[in-house]
Amino acid sequence: MAQEFPWASEITKTTGTITALNQDLAFTDFILDVRDGLYLTISGSLKRLTRINFADIMAHQMKNDQGGSPVTGDPSLYAFTGTTVRFDITPSQNRAYTLWYYAMPSVLAASTIPPFPNDHACIEFVFWRAMEWARKAPPGAAMKYLREVEIAAYRSAGLNQEPESDHVPLDSRQFRRQRGQSGDWMGRTSL
């Protein structure tokens, strides 16, 4: 359930040092990073990196690998493939990082309450697993139920995404800020 619906899991953070263009962070409880939740420490201050898809990271890495001598600097974009973080540019030096991510729950004990989104989903999942064990339902029926009924209900209610800002920012790679007067949105004003 945590892998299918990570937004019901705990958010935690980890720290370390980034040394390479593609670096495996060797997580044991990593599900998904919080959107744009990777920060690098540069000159004593934190820089928040932007998460983009892997195809765009590949394009950046190919563009920055100029004939075998990669361009170095401070990364500003990243993507995850499994537990490997991939940057747009090779870090020029080792950088401390802080990463916020959704973590897998720990192994349940007898008194532990699982972090399911609601009790009904947990009970129904256990019921369907028991039906599988008793061979009264086909293998995979419990996960099918979660995907098609419970998680589908969460998604239709808009609960399939982490909370976001209430505005949609423009992509700074496509829309560069230009200086001008406040009325310039209707065309250049001249006096």
Q: Is the pTM of this model over 0.85?
A: no
Residue 165 exposure: Cα atoms within 13 Å on the Cβ side: 6
Average pLDDT of the chain to the nearest whole number:
81
pLDDT for the residue numbered 182: 57
Q: Please determine, for residue 67, whether its predicted confidence score (pLDDT) is greater than 90.
A: no
Q: Which amino acid is at 127?
A: F
Supply the pLDDT for residue 185: 57
**pLDDT on residue 179:** 57
Structural tokens at position 40: 């690098």
Task: Provide mean pLDDT across the span 163-185.
Answer: 62
The pLDDT tens digits for 47-65 are 999 999 999 998 888 888 7
CB atoms within 10 A of CB 34: 16
Average pLDDT over residues 31-44: 88
For residue 116, name the pLDDT band (cuts at 50, 70, 90). Answer: low
Residue-level pLDDT at 132: 93
pLDDT of residue 127: 92
pLDDT of residue 85: 93
% of the chain beyond a pLDDT of 70: 76
| pLDDT higher than 70, residue 189 | no
Q: What average pLDDT score do residues 142-171 get?
A: 70
Q: Which of 6-10, 33-37, 47-51 has the lowest mean pLDDT?
A: 6-10
Q: Considering only 70-79, 141-150, 170-179, which range has the smallest mean pLDDT?
A: 170-179
Identify the burial level of 49 via C-beta atoms within 10 angstroms of its C-beta, where 0-12 means exposed, 13-18 middle and 19 or more buried. Answer: buried
